[in-house]
Amino acid sequence: MRILVVGGGAIGLLSARLLAEAGADVCLLDQGGLGGESSWAGGGIVSPLYPWRYSPAVTALAHWSQDFYPQLAARLLGDTGIDPEVYVTGLYWLDLEDEATALAWAAREQRSLLAVSIEAVHQAVPVLGSGYSRALHMPNVANVRNPRLIKALRAALLNMPTVTIHEQCAVTGFIQEGGRICGVRTEAGDLRADRVVVAAGAWSGELLAGLGIALPVEPVKGQMILYKCAESFLPSMVLAKGRYAIPRRDGHILIGSTLEHAGFDKAPTENALDSLKASAVELLPALAEAVPVGHWAGLRPGSPEGIPFIGAVPGFEGLWLNCGHYRNGLVLAPASCQLLADLMLGRQPIIDPAPYAPRGRLT
């Protein structure tokens, strides 16, 4: 089987890897460089920001992925020598309005989430700002260093003889014969395949519009800033008022993120920079004396309720989707891609695929 995967972010890369491991010939296309969009720009928390606020469909993918990430990272390190740095730091949520809902969700889902005193938080995270009164703690939450994850996945694919990669190769349309999708058109020429997977993130809706399919996936801009501190500066992730601080092992601290509906505009703005710096100082006052070493923007693939589209497109034989993960692409990638591979290869799916099926969700 020859499969074309359109989109070289974390979803496309991991989909390609799993399909190739199962014996398919895979051609991976990206309009830019691999992983250069939201997969690179995100924070990499291996959890939805507020997991109890999502539907069971998102929760099912998140739980499978969270449990699988350490194994994925270890295998990529062994295969490529590149460590994606899955870093278990835990996460503190501060002054939540729906604390009772969160604790009830954790009890129901059997996830470790505990109410802790603010004094205990300050003991664990001495650099945390004052003014907070309550906290919830999930000790086993990790973050993945997403640029390194992308680098490892790319290296793994380059080592696979049945995988071909085309970067800087924008898809301009689909090849359709007798109601079947049998390839794509690009500026460099046509590429044919038995099946085509659209994993193009925020651009997925634009691609499918050419077939007259209304896929409700749209770009949602997010901006972040980066600081460089001592390695021991921040021992845990912290989140308050919708903003978070994420420590990397080498002392880099990510602060994010904004939520903006600005089309495909990815330009960082001074307003966002000022807002993010204010959030950084509120969370971690010592950063008032620090200068950000990075500021960027990315485009999330926004979708209704953040539930991705995974599966075959009805009425267009040969066309498959793995897109629309909104704010949780890195979190959900392992499960989403495993589910796609299971469905495409006729295997028993890891979870019930019904909530993600394109059928009934497209017009």
pLDDT digits (tens, 9 = 90+) for 21-41: 999 999 999 999 999 999 999
| pLDDT tens-digit series, residues 35-63 | 999 999 999 999 999 999 999 999 999 99
Proportion of the chain above pLDDT 70, given as a percent? 100
Alpha carbon of residue 143 to chain centroid: 11
Residue 363, pLDDT > 90, answer no
Q: What is the average pLDDT value for the chain, to the nearest integer?
A: 97
Distances (CA, A) of 167 to 29, 154, 191, 324: 6, 11, 14, 22
91-139+218-302: CATH architecture: 2-Layer Sandwich (3.30)
- Are 294 and 226 within 8 A, CB to CB? yes
CA quadruple 272, 277, 279, 282: dihedral, nearest 10: -160
Q: How many whole angstroms separate alpha carbon 165 and alpha carbon 236?
A: 37
- Are 139 and 116 within 8 A, CB to CB? no
2-66+147-217+304-356: CATH architecture: 3-Layer(bba) Sandwich (3.50)
- pTM for the whole structure: 0.96
- Closest to 327 in 3D by CA, of 219, 179, 250, 230: 219
Q: Which residues contact 323 (CB under 8 A, 6 or more apart)?
A: 7, 11, 198, 199, 200, 201, 204, 215, 217, 301, 303, 308, 309
Mean pLDDT of all residues in 202-213: 97
Burial class (CB in 10 A: 0-12, 13-18, 19+), 103: middle
Mean pLDDT of all residues in 273-293: 97
Which residues in the chain are classed under CATH 3.30.9.10?
91-139+218-302
Q: How many whole angstroms separate alpha carbon 313 and alpha carbon 282?
A: 46
Which residues in the chain are classed under CATH 3.50.50.60?
2-66+147-217+304-356
